[in-house]
Amino acid sequence: MAKCLKIIEKRNKRGLAAKSRKIAVGVGQAGRRNGVKAWEGGKGFLIKMETRDAFELDMMGKKVRLGLRTFVMGVLNTTPDSFSDGGLYMDSGAAVAHGVEMVRQGADWIDVGGESTRPGSRPISAEEEAERVLPVIRGLRRKLGAVPISIDTTKASVAAQAVRAGANIVNDISGLRFDERLAEVAARYHLPLILMHIRGRPENMQQRPFVRSIWRSVHDGLEWSVKRALARGVRREQLIIDPGLGFGKSRTQNYEILGHLGRLRSFRLPILVGTSRKSFVRAATQGEKISGAARRKRPALANPSAKPGSEVLSSLEFADAAAVTAAILNGAHIVRVHDVEHMVPAVRLADAIVKATSGGR
């Protein structure tokens, strides 16, 4: 019999005590739903967060422990057309300075990308991409010492050049679908390899019909990527998976993935999540329906200390912090963010909650 923890008394309009109703929570028959533990008893229901799994990541022969705290990956785009910061860091000097500043603000890793993957973007040549990223990676390596630098690319030739310039992580948004030889680069240099789920390609991923079962698509897609990486010589301790929020998913599907992220624990691999400044986060900030149907926008959440004209950006910062927190509480080991300064406090708070609810480990 479930232990009664609380009794709620209902009162009628005359203020007389009505029949009490017992709500039992906390003790009862154990069940499992969507990767969280549940205890059912009477009419009550309590959900307990899972402890985040710990992993040792192999980074060029060195062991990096993931799971004790959340790692922050700072985004550094050297592109003219990325959806958030396109054109801001085309100059290599400005890009290097921004990367150094993100580390000062609390970034653990810097992710350098030279090709936009926003919806509708077109691919560029390997030569043009290399020209954008290599000077930045060399400059960051000189300035940052041993701080890990990730190359965000889908091309093996760009990845190999980036590694020789100083990169020590490969971040592939295609999950090896565009160029399987990326796995060989990671295997040869003993680099961590981030495998992301994507449906289609950036130029058409949001135009195709969305799948009915997003979890089947994500699971099967990541399973294929992991198998191909292992077949190409990458070891499991080098792998990180990313569900690919915003890459070929509907707005509702992005929220669903974020809320049920714990399902990815079945892969027994570290999880990276990138929600930063994406359209489904902006939509929630502006009060739009999760289904994507338009409606009258609510006023943006203003920051009293914000400069005039920056209220929308301030509200997006709050929403980004909420999304980062949700990702961590649901099992993310690494969060990829643009605004390191404002996301680090959210990461620290979420980590404190994870630690407190996992026995202080």
Core vs surface per residue 76-96: b (16+ CB within 10 A) or e: bbbbeebbebbebbeebeebb
Q: Which of 307, 205, 310 is nearest to 247 (CA)?
A: 205
> Active site includes 296?
no
Class of residue 308 by CB neighbours under 10 A (exposed 0-12, middle 13-18, buried 19+): exposed
Q: How far apart are CA 165 and CA 19, in angstroms?
A: 73
Q: Residue 97: its pLDDT value, please? A: 96
Q: Residue 151: its pLDDT value, please? A: 98
Q: Name the active-site residue from 208, 336, 348, 355.
A: 336
Q: Which of 57, 54, 52, 67 is nearest to 236 (CA)?
A: 57
Q: What's the pTM?
A: 0.80
Q: Name the active-site residue from 52, 132, 277, 278.
A: 278
> Active site includes 132?
no
DSSP per position, 253-315? HHHHHHHTGGGGGGG-S-BEE--TT-HHHHHHHTT--TT----PPPPP---TTSPTT-HHHHH
Q: Which CATH number fits domain 55-357: 3.40.50.300, 3.20.20.20, 3.40.190.10, 3.50.50.100?
A: 3.20.20.20
Task: Give me 244's structure tokens.
Answer: 């690919």
Q: How far apart are CA 316 and CA 296, in angstroms?
A: 18
Q: Which of 102, 132, 101 is nearest to 116 (CA)?
A: 132
Q: How far apart are CA 233 and CA 186, in angstroms?
A: 9
Q: Residue 117: its pLDDT value, please? A: 76
Give all strands (DSSP E) within 104-168, no chain letters: 109-113, 149-152
CB atoms within 10 A of CB 215: 16
Q: Which of 336, 326, 195 is nearest to 276 (CA)?
A: 336
Query: What phi-psi label fits residue 215: left (phi over 0), alpha (psi between -120 and 50 degrees) or beta?
Result: alpha
Class of residue 26 by CB neighbours under 10 A (exposed 0-12, middle 13-18, buried 19+): middle
CATH 3.20.20.20 domain position(s) in the chain = 55-357
Report helix, strand or coil for 152.
strand
CB 329 within 8 A of CB 49: yes
Q: Residue 282: its pLDDT value, please? A: 82
Task: Give me 80's structure tokens.
Answer: 């003219």
What angle separates helix 214-231 from helix 251-259, to the nearest 10 degrees? 70
Give all strands (DSSP E) within the chain, no chain letters: 4-8, 21-24, 29-33, 36-41, 44-48, 55-59, 62-66, 71-77, 109-113, 149-152, 169-172, 193-196, 239-242, 272-273, 334-337
Taking only the tens of pLDDT, the chain with its 361 residues reads 333 333 333 334 333 333 333 323 333 333 344 444 443 444 444 455 556 899 999 999 999 999 999 999 999 999 875 445 545 767 999 999 999 999 999 999 999 999 987 776 688 999 999 999 999 999 999 999 999 999 999 999 999 999 999 999 999 999 999 999 999 999 999 999 999 999 877 776 666 667 889 999 999 999 999 999 999 999 999 999 999 998 888 889 999 999 999 999 999 999 999 998 887 888 877 777 776 433 334 434 444 334 433 444 578 889 999 999 999 999 999 999 999 999 999 999 999 999 998 876 5
